[in-house]
């Protein structure tokens, strides 16, 4: 996923490998909403007792009431979700357990105005496994949503397994002030559990089952242990996990002599394993040092992509190929972090230092599209039985440091001030890709189609701060900003048929600076109810890019495009909202309405010379809203419900071939979720329970659409359920995911090589759609035990 579009990526776009590249219109969306519910008796309640559960627990003592606030760290400090003047969806440990959330897709569909796309679009180098993008509030495209593990930004493609988390926070709307670049739509934050000084403990989980159409069994488990090594001074926590999910796709291909059709099932089977170790050292009541190392590897046999024939545009689980090429991928990462914290009189100083390393690889069968390209453009037919293998290898290393100080309220004023630095080293390798017979055809001196490498280091420095001033007992004014500096470079070397021989593009550099402001005014109707109005700005970094061929320079200049680099694009977010806890603190409700204006959008533009370039061009507008309810409506019965609406349209296409009023790619107009968990205590020992959740995702405009032939990815619904019994410290349950076996189309896959083409109903030659697909129905048995 190069930050600057490589020549090879342009080559792929130019030859029709992904028609969406020619439109490159990532745009954003908006939502609408509003509502509010207060608690008439909140004024007389005692102070809230923080809890890490998102389903508050009630103190049944007659004289007191526990509001059980949902605690978040969206503003770099622990505070009640109700008090934060921005829209947040939070999943605490309670919800994660009750709804059996184990990976990203398990919680993504349960967040209003969040969607995801398996396919990175024009700004990525392609592939099925390293191109997942997240859209929040319609701001779509690569690098528009931040993804964090604790304080460390990480790629959204790594999909960390949901094990031993304290909570998941989804922050909606631009978060540029406190979280910086690539948070222009919002943030997804995974907050891990820290070592617990209250005592030794642990847990274990085992599960097994089967997948519809699966070629093997599903199985997995995890173990967590917490040890107090020195009371009140040293605590250690460790966890490990392993999960195997069956493959459900089948590849067919001709036999070596061409007289029979062979097949291989169990494609897209995925094995994920990893673990974490953390330790906290308390040197005094004021100073502590914490260390954490997290690692994960995810391996694919076969790729998670399927053909989606038109006009239905829904996935089929059998892929008929012209040659056998064993597809595979892996993604592994390691994150090491150190956090030092000093709590003084009225202030807290925090230093967070981290190192992140990510190594990913993908190999795909590119036979049909590549040989089709040579036949159509070079007049050479290669033997498809030989097959063509295309691959890419990506490495990322990041070092980050954030130092901040937070001040407790003094005369109504509190602040958070900080500085941030990161160095990213990104390397994108294209291993040698050969076609047997290329040299013999006379087209090139060898069989080498392409081999290359891109390097794209980046240094980011920022100073940020927010101040909160409470006045007239009920109003709070928030003012903040982030001043950022970016320095980047890009270097590409390559060889092979496409480049006509050895190529060295030289080192290209760019620098950018900018400021992201924020302002909010909130009003506490009661201690448990809050109204707010918010303005915030976000940005996505630009980058240098390879020089255009001489024949393309004039066309870029005529369009007013800077060919050397594309700059940051920005969003302005205007939002009003309401939040309140209900039923004596057992439940929480929120609503928000917003408009987002997206300016200078980073888009891929076709030039008159039939090449492409990334440029800042065009605007979009997103309007929408969201509503959520979460809590215990009566003893033992918990509900989660949410609704998101967004209308994301292009208002000014700029230099891209778009029409004003067109929908933004990959943004559903509507998504909704409803779930419940009911636990009943039959005796003092046994507690049977049942949980079920339903999610709906509306249709989305596919990136393979054209103005004359719009193509919608169908809407889909998901139903999950779990039933079981808790006894003592153990839980036994039966789970079912995607119970109705929905074949969900989750986004356009851009191939590493060339897509196979078809002729659509309008007589146009387009890419034969390949799409991401969710796991089919999976049913299994799960056992948990705590000690």
From CA 645, how far away is CA 629, in angstroms rounded?
16
Rounded average pLDDT over 290-303: 96
| Pairing assessment for the beta strands 730-737 and 186-192 based on DSSP bridges | unpaired
Q: Of all residues in the chain, what percent are helix, strand and coil, respectively (each to 5)?
A: 10, 55, 35
From CA 15, how far away is CA 754, in angstroms rounded?
7
Lowest mean pLDDT among 32-41, 103-112, 126-135, 675-684: 32-41
Q: What is the DSSP string of 377-408?
A: HH-----GGG--EEEEEEEEEEEEEEEEEEEE
- Sequence length of the chain is 787
688: which 2 tokens?
């049977």
Rounded average pLDDT over 471-489: 95
Phi, then psi, of 199 in degrees rounded to 5: 155, 170
Check pLDDT > 50 for residue 38: no
CA angle 678, 52, 88 (to 5 degrees): 90
From CA 180, how far away is CA 188, in angstroms rounded?
13
For 151-192, write each residue's pLDDT tens digit. Answer: 999 988 888 999 999 999 999 999 999 998 789 999 999 999
CA angle 774, 778, 783 (to 5 degrees): 130
Going by C-alpha positions, the residue among 756, 778, 776 that lies closest to residue 767 is: 756
From CA 428, how far away is CA 120, in angstroms rounded?
15
**CATH 2.40.170.20 for domain 7-786:** yes
Going by C-alpha positions, the residue among 258, 15, 121 that lies closest to residue 602 is: 121
The H or E element that residue 594 is part of is strand 587-599
236: which 2 tokens?
């250690």
Query: How far does the chain reach from its first CA to its final CA, in angstroms?
Result: 43
Phi, then psi, of 96 in degrees rounded to 5: -55, -40
Q: Which residue has the tokens 């209308």?
A: 647
pLDDT level of residue 706 (50, 70, 90 thresholds): low
Rounded average pLDDT over 85-107: 93
Q: Is the pTM of this model over 0.85?
A: yes
For 544-600, write each residue's pLDDT tens digit. Answer: 887 777 777 887 888 778 777 888 899 999 999 999 999 888 899 999 999 999 999
Q: Distance of CA 615 to CAs 25, 702, 735, Å? A: 11, 21, 48
| Residues paired with 716 in a beta bridge | 697
| Pairing assessment for the beta strands 186-192 and 145-149 based on DSSP bridges | parallel
């Amino acid at each position: 996923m190069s930050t600057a579009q490589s020549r090879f990526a342009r080559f792929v776009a130019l030859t029709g490998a992904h028609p969406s590249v020619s439109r490159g219109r990532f745009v954003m969306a908006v939502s609408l909403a509003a509502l509010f519910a207060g608690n008439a008796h909140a004024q007389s309640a005692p102070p809230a007792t923080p809890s890490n559960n998102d389903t508050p627990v009630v103190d049944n003592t007659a004289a007191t009431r526990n509001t059980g606030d949902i605690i978040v760290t969206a503003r770099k400090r622990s505070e009640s979700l109700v008090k934060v003047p921005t829209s947040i969806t939070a999943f605490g440990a309670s919800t994660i357990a009750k709804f059996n959330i184990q990976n990203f897709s398990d919680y993504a569909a349960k967040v209003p105005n969040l969607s995801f796309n398996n396919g990175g679009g024009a700004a990525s180098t392609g592939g099925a496994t390293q191109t997942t993008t997240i859209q929040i509030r319609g701001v779509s495209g690569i690098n528009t949503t931040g993804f964090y593990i604790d304080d460390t930004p990480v790629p959204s493609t790594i999909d960390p397994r949901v094990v031993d988390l304290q909570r998941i926070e989804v922050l909606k709307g631009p978060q540029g002030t406190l979280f910086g670049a690539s948070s222009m739509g919002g943030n997804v934050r995974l907050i891990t559990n820290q070592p617990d000084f209250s005592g030794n403990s642990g847990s274990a989980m085992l599960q097994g089952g089967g997948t519809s159409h699966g070629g093997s069994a599903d199985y997995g488990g995890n173990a967590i242990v917490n040890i107090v090594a020195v009371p009140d001074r040293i605590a250690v926590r460790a966890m490990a996990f392993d999960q195997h999910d069956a493959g459900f796709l089948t590849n067919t291909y001709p036999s070596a002599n061409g007289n029979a059709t062979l097949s291989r099932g169990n494609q897209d089977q995925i094995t994920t394993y990893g673990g974490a170790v953390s330790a906290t050292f308390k040197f005094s009541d004021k100073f502590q040092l914490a260390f954490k190392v997290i690692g994960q590897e995810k391996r694919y046999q076969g790729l998670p992509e399927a053909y989606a024939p038109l006009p239905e545009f829904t996935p089929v689980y059998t892929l008929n190929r012209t040659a056998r090429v064993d597809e595979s991928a892996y993604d592994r990462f390691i994150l090491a972090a150190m956090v030092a914290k000093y709590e003084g009189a009225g202030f807290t100083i925090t230093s967070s230092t981290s190192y992140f390393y990510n190594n990913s690889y993908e190999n795909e069968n590119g036979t049909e599209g590549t040989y089709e390209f040579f036949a159509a453009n070079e007049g050479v037919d290669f033997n498809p039985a030989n097959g063509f293998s295309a691959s890419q290898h990506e490495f990322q290393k990041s070092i980050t440091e954030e130092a901040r100080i937070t001040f407790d309220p003094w005369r109504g004023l509190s602040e958070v001030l900080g500085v941030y630095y990161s160095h990213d080293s990104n390397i994108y390798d294209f291993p040698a890709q050969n076609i047997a017979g290329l040299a013999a055809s006379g087209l090139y001196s060898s069989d080498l189609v392409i081999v290359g490498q891109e390097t794209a280091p980046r240094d980011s420095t920022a100073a940020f701060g927010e101040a909160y001033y409470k006045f007239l007992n009920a109003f709070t004014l928030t003012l903040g900003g982030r001043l950022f500096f970016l320095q980047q470079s890009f270097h590409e070397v390559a060889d092979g048929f496409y480049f006509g021989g050895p190529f060295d593009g030289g080192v290209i550099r760019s620098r950018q600076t900018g400021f992201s402001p924020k302002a909010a005014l909130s009003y506490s109707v009661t201690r448990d109810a809050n109204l707010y109005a918010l303005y915030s700005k976000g940005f996505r970094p630009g980058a240098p890019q390879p020089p255009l061929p001489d024949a393309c320079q004039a066309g870029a200049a005529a369009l007013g495009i800077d060919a050397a680099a594309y700059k940051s694009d920005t969003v302005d977010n205007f939002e009003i909202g309401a939040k309140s806890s209900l039923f004596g603190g057992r439940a929480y409700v929120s609503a928000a309405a917003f408009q987002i204006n997206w300016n200078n959008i980073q888009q891929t533009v076709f030039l008159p010379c039939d090449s492409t370039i990334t440029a800042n061009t065009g605007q979009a507008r997103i309007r929408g809203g969201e509503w959520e309810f979460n809590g215990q409506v009566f003893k033992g019965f918990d509900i989660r419900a949410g609704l998101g609406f967004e209308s994301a349209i292009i208002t000014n296409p700029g230099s891209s071939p778009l029409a004003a009023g067109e929908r933004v790619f990959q943004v559903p107009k509507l998504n909704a979720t409803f779930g419940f968990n009911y636990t009943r205590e039959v005796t003092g020992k046994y507690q049977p329970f049942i949980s079920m959740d339903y999610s709906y995702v509306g249709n989305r405009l596919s990136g393979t659409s054209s103005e004359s032939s719009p193509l919608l990815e169908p809407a889909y619904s998901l139903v999950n359920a779990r039933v079981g019994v808790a006894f003592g410290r153990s839980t036994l349950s039966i789970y079912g995911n995607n119970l109705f076996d929905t074949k969900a189309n989750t986004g356009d896959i851009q191939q590493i090589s060339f897509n196979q083409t078809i002729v659509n109903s309008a007589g146009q030659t387009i890419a034969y759609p390949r799409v991401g697909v969710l796991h089919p129905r999976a049913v299994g048995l799960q056992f948990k035990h705590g000690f």
